[in-house]
Amino acid sequence: MDVNPFTLKEVPSGSAFCNRQKELKDLVAFATSRENVLLYSPRRYGKTSLIKKVQGHLESDGAITAYCDLFGVSSIEDIAGRIARSIYSITRRDENLFQKAVRFLTSFRPVLSPGPDGGISVSVQPAYRSESWELLDNTMEALGRFVQDVSNLVNVALDEFQEITEIEDSLRIEGRLRHYIQSMKCGFTFVGSRRRILLEMFNDRKRPFFQSTINYELGTLPREELLDFMVSGFRKAGKALSRDLSEQVCDLLGQHPYYIQKFCFFLFNRVERSVTPEQISDTHRMLLESERTLFEALIRKLTVTQIALLTAIAKEPTNKLFPAEYMERHRLKSTGGIQRSLSILTEEDLVEQNPTDGTWKVVDPFFMQWLVEKAL
């Protein structure tokens, strides 16, 4: 059986990775210079795979890299614990570094246990009772001492960083983190997908992180690189995808990195030798069905008015949402309702406005297709 060259999982650092050479070069250079970077894009553009690829490059040159996922973080103590765990996780492979981490990160002690993949899993436990702010302060102070003590370049990635805004007293949390981060001799990469929230955090002069990073937006994959990735992936595995059909796939999926990868995974399994137009159509239907549960979950979080506006924008992108004809055509009841809904949909990164012509559209091209189909 031919091994499928495409994957549904996060792209491992050593596996096939659609050409992001410019981004890799830029981000490695920023990290090497100890610059702080805000890396942002819509959901599922490959930010996590990219930053881990970057950190893999840094590690090969002797750097210490820590990756901390803040998705679903629930408290100040949770933030501190996740940062401590990320340091223990990376240093445990080097006994000297691990002992330094243990010596400096006294607010948490590491707990090592067998992992599900046969490796070692790292968790942490508070070493003593303390107030939440004290725990965060101690952890960040300890991280600073660790960075100061080691001779290696250090890079820390904080993924889904916007999640800290969901915690009570979040502005104060931002201030505490900025206080410690600005004095550390290492580079931080703040990663996230709720772009409006992130850009406000780092570009509002009233916020602690104002102008503290290089803003770096991750766009769609370059079309030619993406076409080459798809065609060569099939060819190297002994199957054929024509250039014309690969362009059709790109157009169907708006050059979206996640959907292209998943589509090709499904398509590869359906093909014996050469891809046919019918298989493209069947795989498109299969992909829509595979995403239905997620899309329905997104819809459930919204009000009826928000759903109506989201569907209207999916069916008819426009730079004018308030004319009576548009509102009547899509059963939008009031300008006030549109304005309130638009604010929520933008904050959740479900819709965005083209800065050139002002057109509102659904961010996720495949979600847009599902909304249009569902509305028929």
Which one of 3.30.420, 3.30.70, 3.40.50, 1.10.8 gives the CATH number of domain 223-293?
1.10.8
Q: What is the pLDDT of residue 1?
A: 54
pLDDT band at 155 (very low <50, low <70, confident <90, very high): very high
| Least trusted range by pLDDT, from 2-6, 8-12, 156-160, 304-308 | 8-12
pLDDT digits (tens, 9 = 90+) for 309-346: 999 999 999 999 999 999 999 999 999 999 999 999 99
pLDDT digits (tens, 9 = 90+) for 94-111: 999 999 999 999 999 999
Taking the model in full, what pTM does it have?
A: 0.89
- DSSP calls for 144-183: HHHHHH-SS-EEEEEETGGGGGGSTTHHHHHHHHHHHHTT
Q: What is the pLDDT of residue 121?
A: 87
Which one of 3.90.1150.10, 3.40.630.30, 1.10.10.10, 3.40.50.10420 gives the CATH number of domain 301-375?
1.10.10.10
Q: What percent of the chain has pLDDT over 70?
A: 97
Domain ranges in the chain?
21-217, 223-293, 301-375
Q: What is the pLDDT of residue 13?
A: 45
Q: Are 63 and 81 in contact (CB under 8 A)?
A: no
pLDDT band at 308 (very low <50, low <70, confident <90, very high): very high
CA Rg, the chain, in Å? 23
The structural architecture, per CATH, of the domain 21-217 is: 3-Layer(aba) Sandwich (3.40)
Q: Is the pLDDT of residue 220 over 80?
A: yes
Q: What is the pLDDT of residue 39?
A: 98
Q: In which residue are the tokens 């091209």 written?
A: 365
Furthest-apart CA pair in the chain: how many Å? 70
pLDDT band at 241 (very low <50, low <70, confident <90, very high): very high
Q: Mean per-residue pLDDT for 59-73?
A: 97
Q: What is the pLDDT of residue 129?
A: 86
* Amino acid symbol at 80: A
Residues 183 and 91: their CA atoms lie apart, in Å, by: 22
* Amino acid symbol at 145: R
Q: What is the pLDDT of residue 112?
A: 87
Calculate helix-pair angle for 277-300, 257-270, nearest 10 degrees. Answer: 130
| Least trusted range by pLDDT, from 9-23, 142-156, 223-237 | 9-23
Mean pLDDT of the chain: 93
Q: Mean per-residue pLDDT for 130-143?
A: 95
Residues 194 and 74: their CA atoms lie apart, in Å, by: 17
Q: How far is CA 367 from the centre of its chain?
A: 17
pLDDT digits (tens, 9 = 90+) for 248-292: 999 999 899 899 999 999 999 999 999 999 999 999 999 999 999
Q: Mean per-residue pLDDT for 33-40?
A: 98
Q: Is the pLDDT of residue 147 over 70?
A: yes
Q: Is the pLDDT of residue 17 over 70?
A: no
Length of the chain counted residue by residue:
376
Beta strands in the chain (DSSP E): 37-40, 64-69, 108-114, 120-126, 154-159, 187-192, 214-217, 351-353, 360-362
Environment class of residue 256 by beta-carbon count within 10 Å: exposed (0-12), middle (13-18) or buried (19+)?
buried
Q: Are 70 and 158 in contact (CB under 8 A)?
A: yes
Q: Is the pLDDT of residue 16 over 50?
A: no
Q: Are 131 and 76 in contact (CB under 8 A)?
A: no
